[in-house]
Amino acid sequence: MLKKIMSLTLVFIGLFLVGCSSNEYERRDDESNTLYVGSVGASFPTSFMPWLSRDGIAPTIASMVYNTLFSYDDQTGEFVESIGKEWYYVSPEGEPILTTEGKIDYDELEEVYSGSEESYLVVKIIIHDDIFWHDGEKLTVEDIYYTFDIGTNNALSNHAGSLAWTADLQHSYSNGVMTKQGIFTYDHGANERGYEITEEEKDTVMYLHVNKVLGAITSLFSTILILPEHIWEPIVTVDNQLNSKILVKKRYINTKIQLEVVDTNLIQPIPMLKLLH
Q: Mind listing the pLDDT tens digit for each residue in 18-60?
A: 444 445 566 667 777 776 666 655 556 666 777 776 666 777 7
Domains and CATH numbers, the chain: 66-252 (3.90.76.10)
- For residues 101 and 274, the model is more confident at 101
Assess whether pLDDT exceeds 80 at residue 232: yes
The count of other CB atoms within 10 Å of the CB of residue 181 is 14
Q: Mind listing the pLDDT tens digit for each residue in 70-109?
A: 999 988 889 999 999 999 999 999 999 999 999 999 999 9
**243-254 CB burial, b ≥16 within 10 A, e <16:** bbeebbeebbee
Assess whether pLDDT exceeds 50 at residue 209: yes
* CB-side neighbour CA atoms (13 Å) of 187: 10
Residue 128 contacts by C-beta under 8 Å, 6 or more apart in sequence? 81, 83, 84, 85, 204, 264, 265, 266
